[in-house]
Structure 1
Amino acid sequence: MNNNIKNVLSVVIVLAILILAYSAYIYSNSFANSQQGLSSRVFSVTGDGKITAIPDVAKFTFAIKTQGGLDIPNIQKENSIKTNTIIDFIKSQGVDSKDITTQNYNIYPKYEYYSCPITTIGIDSATPKPCPSPKIRDYIIDQTISVKVRDFTKIGELLSGVTEKGVNSISQISFFVDDTDKYKNQAREEAIKKAQEKATAIANSAGFKIGKLITIGENNYSPMPYDSYGMGEIATFAKASVTPTIEPGSQEITINVVLRYEIK
């Protein structure tokens, strides 16, 4: 009796496995056929959206270098006094503390090297004179600070002011859009609208109706910060009787979309 039950169960299990396998085959085959049919009944359109944005942030970096003697604490104190004076000036021009960042702070020695000429001993022989090892002559502190400026009317005055207060060099000034999301949203809306209009025009010309939207893809092109002034402008800022005028220009933010529709 037990053997009969086992045999029946074995048959049932085998049949269940066969049914499941057959169902999976039918489903996969049906899905493949539907996809093959779908691929021949779709079309794609593209659309570009471009928004011109005016940069709202300028960024520049400056370096402060302090050198003198072997007393590192004293050099640090001198460097700190100079740096704090410059930062206080920058803040007085309306720049927020969060927009002032120390990028690097380095302390390194400057060595003095000796030149030791060959000393002749006798007629035909020459031997080098013992040469002292290099020694540290000074320590140098090199500090670099970056500044973001949101009020462009202050840029010229800031550049001239930090130079007058002891900045050793100013790097390139770059302009960029702080928050690009709102411009990307506007460009995306324009791109989708153009793609939809193109899809309608194609359907009307080809004599078919547009079905459901199957997929949508997107590429965006955000502007890179661009530079206005380069290295070496510090001399111009220091000597100019009138502070320089800085123009931020404009930047284009582009969104490209690809819409894939079903053909009815």
Structure 2
Amino acid sequence: MKTMNRTRFFILPLLLFLIAFSSQAQQQLMPPHVRVTGVGEVKVPPTEVVVNLGVETREKTLDAARRASDKAAASIINYLKKQGVDAKDIQTSYVTLQPVYNGGEYGRTTPDFYLAQKSMTVVLKKLNKYDEILAGLYEVGANRVDGVRFQVADLEKYKAEARQRAVADAMQKATSLTSELGAKVGRVYSINENTYNDGPRPMYKTAMMESAAYDANGPTIAGGEVVISSNVDVVFVIE
């Protein structure tokens, strides 16, 4: 046991020394450099609106609630297809069917009613028809709108443009910094695009859109602008 403790006593300092030496060696091997962050941003009007809507029905029996919900959902889908919405742009996202008890006698087994809910996500590619289509959806059975967001169809193109602007911004910053000190920007030593939000993807974000003030004679939504941005960290060698 004493031998093991002595071994650990010598190994731990050795490991710490090796780690410190490795870090110092890496710093010494890295050439003189400048590190900058470039920011690129592209603002474009949206081309699509994504609507989250739903159907909610209440009936005395489970079967009646299910049939009423299915009938309303079928009417919504048929209406959207008649309005030119592609089938791939209509998706059922949530379905529930459950009994509801409003209190009363303890241990009761008969519910007051059955609640059926269906939620759908619809992509509308004609923003100028939003008001017309939404009004029609209410008429055919939709009784809930859970949210609206705007997006652009060709997002990848704007992502690439934002990235190019970020790289150009990084180059401009590096050139400005080094020229002030009488130096010159050399080759790129490393480059990294930042990631954030809910997944390991490049730094792109969609701005929140403001809704329009209500006007009985005008549109009820305002698309505003979709903002696509990219940040890149670049290390340039100083010559």
- TM-score strictly above 0.5: yes
Cα contact 2:57–2:115 (8 A) shared by 1:
yes
Q: Distance in 2 between matches of 1:79 and 1:208?
A: 71
Q: Which residue of structure 2 aligns with residue 36 of structure 1?
A: 28
Residues 67-93 of structure 1, C-alpha deviations (whole Å, 9 max, x = no match): 2232x3344333322221121111111
Alignment counterpart, residue 111 of structure 1, candidates 74, 98, 101: 101
Higher Rg: 1
Alignment counterpart, residue 190 of structure 2, candidates 212, 215, 225: 215
Under a length normalisation based on structure 1, what TM-score does the superposition of the two structures give? Answer: 0.67
Cα–Cα, structure 1 residues 254 and 242, in superposed 2: closer, same or farther, change >3 Å?
same
Cα contact 2:39–2:230 (8 A) shared by 1:
yes
Q: Which residue of structure 2 aligns with residue 204 of structure 1?
A: 179
Q: Which residue of structure 1 aligns with residue 45 of structure 2?
A: 54
The code of the aligned residue for 1:51 comes to V
* Residue 249 (str. 1) matches residue 224 (str. 2): yes
Aligned residue runs from structure 1 range 62-77, under 5 A:
62-70=53-61, 72-77=62-67
Q: CA deviation at 1:96?
A: 1.0
Cα–Cα, structure 1 residues 153 and 207, in superposed 2: closer, same or farther, change >3 Å?
same
- The SS at the match of 1:226 is coil
Q: Distance in 2 between matches of 1:221 and 1:60?
A: 25
Which runs of 5 or more residues in structure 2 are unaligned?
A: 1-20, 195-201
- The SS at the match of 1:136 is coil
The code of the aligned residue for 2:175 comes to T
Q: Distance in 2 between matches of 1:58 and 1:158?
A: 12
The code of the aligned residue for 2:73 comes to T
Q: Distance in 2 between matches of 1:215 and 1:260?
A: 5
Q: CA deviation at 1:162?
A: 1.0
Cα contact 1:173–1:228 (8 A) shared by 2:
no
Aligned residue runs from structure 1 range 1-264, under 5 A:
35-36=27-28, 38-39=30-31, 41-70=32-61, 72-111=62-101, 113-114=103-104, 133-219=108-194, 220-224=202-206, 226=208, 244-264=219-239
User: In percent, how many aligned pairs have the same letter?
Assistant: 27
| TM-align CA RMSD | 3.1
- The SS at the match of 1:248 is coil
Cα contact 1:112–1:134 (8 A) shared by 2:
no
Q: Distance in 2 between matches of 1:32 and 1:110?
A: 67
Residues 23-46 of structure 1, C-alpha deviations (whole Å, 9 max, x = no match): xxxxxx9x976851535x222233
Cα contact 1:49–1:254 (8 A) shared by 2:
yes
Q: Distance in 2 between matches of 1:37 and 1:192?
A: 25
Cα contact 1:216–1:259 (8 A) shared by 2:
yes
The code of the aligned residue for 1:106 comes to T
Q: CA deviation at 1:152?
A: 0.5
Residues 86-106 of structure 1, C-alpha deviations (whole Å, 9 max, x = no match): 211111111111111111221
Under a length normalisation based on structure 2, what TM-score does the superposition of the two structures give? Answer: 0.73
**What is the total number of aligned residue pairs between the two structures?**
210
Q: Distance in 1 between matches of 2:170 and 2:223?
A: 32
Q: Distance in 2 between matches of 1:174 and 1:48?
A: 25
- The SS at the match of 2:60 is coil
Q: CA deviation at 1:52?
A: 0.7
- The SS at the match of 2:111 is strand
The code of the aligned residue for 1:78 comes to A
Q: CA deviation at 1:221?
A: 3.5
